[in-house]
Amino acid sequence: AQTVTQSQPEMSVQEAETVTLSCTYDTSESDYYLFWYKQPPSRQMILVIRQEAYKQQNATENRFSVNFQKAAKSFSLKISDSQLGDAAMYFCAYRSVYLAGGTSYGKLTFGQGTILTVHP
């Protein structure tokens, strides 16, 4: 079974600065998807960025980018020019590509989450 680990329970950053959130995962699969989700106090889960494992190029979405190291099974999120609205719980998540017998196809496995505080 896959596992996802976020070793930073809490992080803080000054507004306009850059912060990196860490995520590692364990899998025996060669093809999969990785995601970062943001959950503000409203509880709404918001997709921040996703990465296909077969792509070597790191995904980028505006101020958000990832550092995907497949061999090291590492998937960190970098937030540039941090804004007050970035304050939230951030979850790293893993999704298998292929159906495996007896498992739930398409399910997400989440890390423990990192609470990000942005100071003005």
Give the residues lining the site for other proteins (CB under 8 A).
Answer: 33, 35, 42-45, 47, 50, 52, 91, 95, 104-113
**Is 3 in contact with 111 (CB distance < 8 Å)?**
no
Least separation in angstroms between residue 72's CB and other proteins is 22
The CA-based angle 88-19-30, given to 5 degrees, is 85
- CB 14 → other proteins: shortest distance, Å? 25
Q: Which is nearer to other proteins, 52 or 67 (CB)?
A: 52
Q: How far is the CB of 112 from other proteins (least distance, A)?
A: 5
Could you tell me if residue 45 is left (phi over 0), alpha (psi between -120 and 50 degrees) or otherwise beta?
Answer: beta
